[in-house]
C-alpha cells in the first residue's frame, strides 16, 4: 500500500489502518462502489484515493497531535509486524531511495503463493531480499562504475516488531534490527558488530 503525504507527514497505512480508513472515508458509498474501488485503473479507485486523502487531511486539520500519534507513528508487534513488513519496507525504499526489494522465490513458489492467497500480506513471499545501494563517490561516478550493493535476506517469521514513523523506524528481528532512516543500519543484538550502509 502506498504511503500518503499529508501536511508534510508521511503516513504509512498498515493493513488494519487501511481497512479503518476505507471504512470511514467511504462510509457513504454503496458496497458495489467499494468493490469497484479495489480494482486498479477504475474510476472508482481514483475517487476512493481522493476520499482517503480528504479524510486524512480532515483528521490532520482537526487535531494535528492526535493525527500524528494515531496515523503517522506506528507500533506493530508479532504477526501484524510480519504481515506489514513488505509494505513498510517498500514504502521506505520508495521515498528514501536507499534500495529496493527483490523477489527471491522460484516461479513455482510464486504461483503457489498466489494460489493459497499469501500474496496479500506477503507479495514476494515470506522470505524476500532488500538490496541496499551504496552511495557513489566522485571517482566512481567519473569512471561510470556501478554502485556497489548489499543484499539482505529477510525472513518475515523472524520479525518481532516495527515501530516509529516512516521516515525513521526500527524493524526488529530475533537476532538483529534494522534502524531505517536517511541511512540504513543493521545492528546485530547477539554480537557487538554493526553494519551501516
- Please give the tally of structural domains in the chain: 2
pLDDT tens-place string over residues 133-149: 876 566 666 666 666 77
91 plus 164 within the same structural domain? yes
Q: Are 194 and 186 in contact (CB under 8 A)?
A: yes
Tens of pLDDT, residues 97-136:
888 998 888 777 767 666 666 666 778 888 899 998 876 5
Report the length, in residues, of the chain.
197
Cell matching residue 96: 528514501
CA distances to 23, 63, 64 from 58, rounded to whole Å, are 15, 9, 10
Domain range for 15 is 1-72
* Listed residues 24, 52, 72: the one ending a domain: 72
Per-residue pLDDT averaged across 68-87, rounded?
A: 94
Contact 131, 140 (CB under 8 A): no
The residue whose grid cell reads 476520499 is 51
Amino acid at each position: 500500500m502506498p504511503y500518503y503525504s499529508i501536511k508534510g507527514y508521511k503516513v504509512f497505512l498498515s493493513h488494519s489502518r487501511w481497512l479503518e480508513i476505507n471504512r470511514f472515508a467511504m462510509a457513504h458509498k454503496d458496497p458495489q462502489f467499494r468493490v469497484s474501488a479495489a480494482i486498479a485503473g477504475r474510476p472508482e479507485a481514483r475517487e476512493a484515493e481522493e476520499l482517503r486523502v480528504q479524510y486524512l487531511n480532515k483528521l490532520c486539520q482537526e487535531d494535528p497531535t492526535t493525527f500524528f500519534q494515531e496515523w503517522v507513528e506506528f507500533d506493530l508487534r508479532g504477526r501484524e509486524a510480519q504481515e506489514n513488513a513488505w509494505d513498510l519496507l517498500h514504502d521506505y525504499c520508495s521515498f528514501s531511495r536507499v534500495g529496493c526489494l527483490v523477489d527471491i522465490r522460484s516461479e513455482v513458489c510464486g504461483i503457489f503463493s498466489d494460489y493459497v492467497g499469501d500474496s496479500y500480506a506477503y507479495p514476494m513471499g515470506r522470505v524476500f531480499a532488500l538490496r541496499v545501494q551504496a552511495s557513489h563517490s566522485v571517482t566512481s561516478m567519473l569512471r561510470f562504475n556501478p554502485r556497489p550493493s548489499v543484499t539482505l535476506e529477510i525472513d518475515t517469521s523472524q520479525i518481532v516488531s516495527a515501530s516509529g514513523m516512516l521516515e525513521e523506524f526500527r524493524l526488529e528481528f530475533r537476532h538483529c534490527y534494522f534502524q531505517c532512516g536517511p541511512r540504513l543500519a543493521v545492528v546485530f543484538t547477539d554480537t557487538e558488530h554493526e553494519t551501516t550502509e
